[in-house]
Structure 1
């Protein structure tokens, strides 16, 4: 008798003895394959990838401390769940973060969610994207009006003498004589150049405190240094300009 036949006979006799003793037979069985360590690792990676591809609920505590609002979902795009986003800024000013970020943070009313960006591209003057967890047009339409945030750490790196607008807001503006001209309250794009909108404390004709405003072109002839570590911009600009 071959070794295979011997094994088959042994299984049959084991079933017969079970029946003879009044016990239920377990029948034939297949031995469970030995699980190798690399199998567990592959399963873990697969599970992590599956979870990362889904939208998830977030709270104020899990929201990134460096989250920057970069746009809003204004419509659905196509039939497969893509969304259309109106970016708050153009490329180089924070808008391109929508194209490179791996995860978008979504806020609609009090509801907070985050979703992986599976694919994003420019489309005319907007950005369209496929997000994990949004699989059809109806689901995409349900997110209209949602504000989109990106973690500042996911903004694309810039070259020398390039700055994101969000990094300039709040910096002190000082002229070459050391006079503080105020703080950057915002930026303006006049289609020719970027302009610093600098606010400073002032008073109106009645002596009531108001916020004064200076507009300084963000160009090399006026802006001499930007020191983000010192939170200061030095400009060639006089207080009475």
Structure 2
């Protein structure tokens, strides 16, 4: 595990509840596919600013979610302490993406501008509208054309023309009237 720096932690999911009586927990994973969260082996759990390192010694898909077991946690009452915790790993443990692909967290906060230079605001967050249908949720602010919230499909070369992380901008082919 890389040295701990809370500023470099990337949230991959959360512990939602206990599962069974032998210390297992239910996990809501933000990774794609969802069981990729188990590949990390060690997680940093954040509850109200308190960070704890846990080692995942077992895990599997379960229904529409995941269940996991932490090393040394063999009792339901002990597992309860982890409920509600965010699951994070250091940014440098994430796999490198191919050129032109981005993690959602990298897009959040970027300014969205159309081909005519109209500033729509910043990406507040990303959401999924089904498999392969990611959406930029853009909120207008003081520097934008208006304070409207816009949902812009994240479709490269159709609506999203360029993403430049260095200057913090996403160039879109999007009409201000939409």
TM-score past 0.5 threshold: yes
Do residues 64 (structure 1) and 6 (structure 2) align? yes
- What does the per-residue CA deviation read over 1:51-82, in whole Å, with 9 as the maximum and x for residues that have no partner? x8xxxxxxxxx543211233221223344432
- Structure 1 unaligned runs (5+)? 1-51, 53-61, 203-209
Say which one has the larger Rg: 1
Given that 1:67 and 1:152 are in contact with CA atoms closer than 8 Å, whether structure 2 keeps it comes out as yes
Distance across 2 between alignment mates of 1:211 and 1:83: 41
Partner of 2:159: 222
Q: As a proportion of its length, which structure holds more strand? A: 2
Partner of 1:81: 23
State the SS of the aligned residue for 1:140. Answer: helix
Q: How far has the Cα of 1:98 moved from its partner?
A: 1.9
Q: How far has the Cα of 1:136 moved from its partner?
A: 3.0
Partner of 1:231: 168
| Higher normalized contact order (CA 8 Å, seq sep 6+, divided by chain length) | 2
Do residues 136 (structure 1) and 75 (structure 2) align? yes
Given that 2:31 and 2:37 are in contact with CA atoms closer than 8 Å, whether structure 1 keeps it comes out as no
Give the TM-score normalised by structure 1: 0.61
- Give matches, 1:145-184, under 5 Å: 145-184=84-123
Do residues 121 (structure 1) and 121 (structure 2) align? no
Q: Which moved more, 1:106-115 or 1:168-177?
A: 106-115
Residue from 91, 100, 106 that aligns with 2:32: 91
Partner of 1:211: 147
Given that 2:12 and 2:31 are in contact with CA atoms closer than 8 Å, whether structure 1 keeps it comes out as no
- Structure 2 unaligned runs (5+)? none
RMSD: 2.7
Given that 1:97 and 1:156 are in contact with CA atoms closer than 8 Å, whether structure 2 keeps it comes out as no
Aligned length: 172
Give the TM-score normalised by structure 2: 0.80
